[in-house]
Amino acid sequence: MSPPRPHIAHIVDDSEASLLDVIDSLLNKGVVLNADLILALANVDLVYVRLSALLCAADRVLPRASR
């Protein structure tokens, strides 16, 4: 059986911020001023705290492709 043929690139222009943009920008990037991020989130959603902490750590540990 032949593999499915790829489609032509479907391009979406998005001038509004998607939830992905918002999460990516505000939880994973930007100036980290102190650990209050974790404290501020701890009362709300522990899963997010772990995710955020992991992302912060991964930023510094993983090799960077290019900056």
Partner 1 sequence: MRVVYVYALVEPRSRRPLTPPRARAMQVRGHRIQLIPVGTIQALVELLEAPPALSEESLRAQHDIVVALARRFDAILPARFGAAVDIAELERLLALREKSLRTALARVRGREQMTVRVFGPEPQARIKTGMPVSGTAYLHGRRKAARVRVPASGRRVRRAVKSIMDRERIDAGHGRVQATLHHLIQRGRHEQYRALVRRALEGFPTDGGIVISGPWPPFAFTPDLWP
Where on the chain is the footprint of partner 1 (CB under 8 A)? Answer: 5-15, 17-27, 29-34, 36-41, 43-45, 48, 56, 58-60, 62-63, 65-67
Using the structure block, give the residue that is written with the tokens 């090799």: 63
Half-sphere exposure of 64 (CA within 13 A, CB side): 6
Contact by Cβ (8 Å): 32, 56:
yes
Considering the complex, what minimum distance in angstroms separates the CB of residue 29 from partner 1?
4
Token digits for 20? 């992905």
